[in-house]
Amino acid sequence: MSDARDQIRKALDEVRVIDPHCHLRLAKPSADSLADIVLYHHVWIELVSSGMDQFEVSASDLPHELADPEIAPLERVRRSLKHLPNTRNTTLGLFLRWILKDLYGVDRLTESNLETVFADVARKGQDPAWQERLLRERCGIDHNISVELRSAPYSGRMLKAREIFPANLIHGKQTSSGILSGWESAFGREIRTALDYTEFLRETVSGLSVAEYKFLGWWVVPCVTDALSDEDQITRTLQKVRHEEPLSHDEIGGFCYSGMRTLLQELRRTPLRTIQVIVGAEVLPPHRSLTHWNGNFCGAIGRIANQFEDFRFDLSTASDAYTQDLGILSRHIPNISVAGTWWHTFYPFYIRKSLETRLDMVPANKITGYFSDAYHAEWCYPKLKMVKQILGEILVERIERGWYDTDTAIGLIPRLFHDNPGRIYGV
Mean pLDDT, residues 36-48: 97
pLDDT at 150 over 80: yes
On average, the pLDDT of the chain sits at 96
Nearest-angstrom CA–CA distance, 255 and 165: 12
Task: Tell me which of 3.20.20.140, 3.40.50.410, 3.40.640.10, 3.90.550.10 is the CATH number of domain 141-424.
Answer: 3.20.20.140
- What pLDDT is attached to residue 287? 86
List, for residues 72-130, the tens digit of each pLDDT value. Answer: 999 999 999 999 999 999 999 999 999 999 999 999 999 999 999 999 999 999 998 99
Closest CA to 284 of 180, 138, 174: 174
pLDDT at 44 over 80: yes
Q: How far is CA 416 from the centre of its chain?
A: 17
List, for residues 247-287, the tens digit of each pLDDT value. Answer: 999 999 999 999 999 999 999 999 999 999 999 999 988 88
Q: How far is CA 120 from the centre of its chain?
A: 29
The CA-based diameter of the chain, rounded to the nearest angstrom, is 68
List, for residues 349-383, the tens digit of each pLDDT value. Answer: 999 999 999 999 999 999 999 999 999 999 999 99
Closest CA to 115 of 73, 157, 152: 73
Mean pLDDT, residues 218-237: 96
Burial bucket for residue 20 (CB in 10 Å: 0-12, 13-18, 19+): buried
Residue 243 neighbours by CB under 8 Å, 6+ apart: none
CB atoms < 10 A from the CB of 254, how many? 26
Asked if residue 222 has a cis previous peptide bond (ω within 30° of 0), the answer is no
List, for residues 173-216, the tens digit of each pLDDT value. Answer: 889 999 999 999 999 999 999 999 999 999 999 999 999 999 99
Closest CA to 167 of 126, 136, 198: 198
Nearest-angstrom CA–CA distance, 307 and 314: 16
pLDDT at 1 over 70: no
CATH number 2.60.40 given to 32-127: no
Identify the band that residue 49 occupies on the pLDDT scale cut at 50, 70 and 90: very high
List, for residues 294-313, the tens digit of each pLDDT value. Answer: 999 999 999 999 999 999 99
3-class secondary-structure state, position 197: helix
Nearest-angstrom CA–CA distance, 347 and 353: 10
Mean pLDDT, residues 160-176: 91
pLDDT at 314 over 70: yes
Mean pLDDT, residues 385-401: 98
Query: Which helix (H) or strand (E) segment is 239 a member of?
Result: helix 231-242
Which residue spans of the chain are classified as CATH 3.20.20.140? Answer: 141-424
Which residue spans of the chain are classified as CATH 1.10.2020? Answer: 32-127
Q: Are 255 and 261 in contact (CB under 8 A)?
A: no
List, for residues 331-351, the tens digit of each pLDDT value. Answer: 999 999 999 999 999 999 999
Cα three-residue angle 250-255-261, rounded to 5 degrees? 125
On whether the pTM is more than 0.85, the answer is yes
Q: Are 217 and 162 in contact (CB under 8 A)?
A: yes
List, for residues 90-99, the tens digit of each pLDDT value. Answer: 999 999 999 9
- What pLDDT is attached to residue 172? 81
Give me the long-range contacts of 158-161 (CB less than 8 A, separation at least 24): 158/24, 158/26, 158/29, 159/214, 159/425, 159/427, 160/26, 160/212, 160/213, 160/214, 161/21, 161/213, 161/214, 161/215, 161/216, 161/217, 161/276
Mean pLDDT, residues 42-64: 96
- What pLDDT is attached to residue 409? 98
Closest CA to 317 of 301, 333, 303: 301
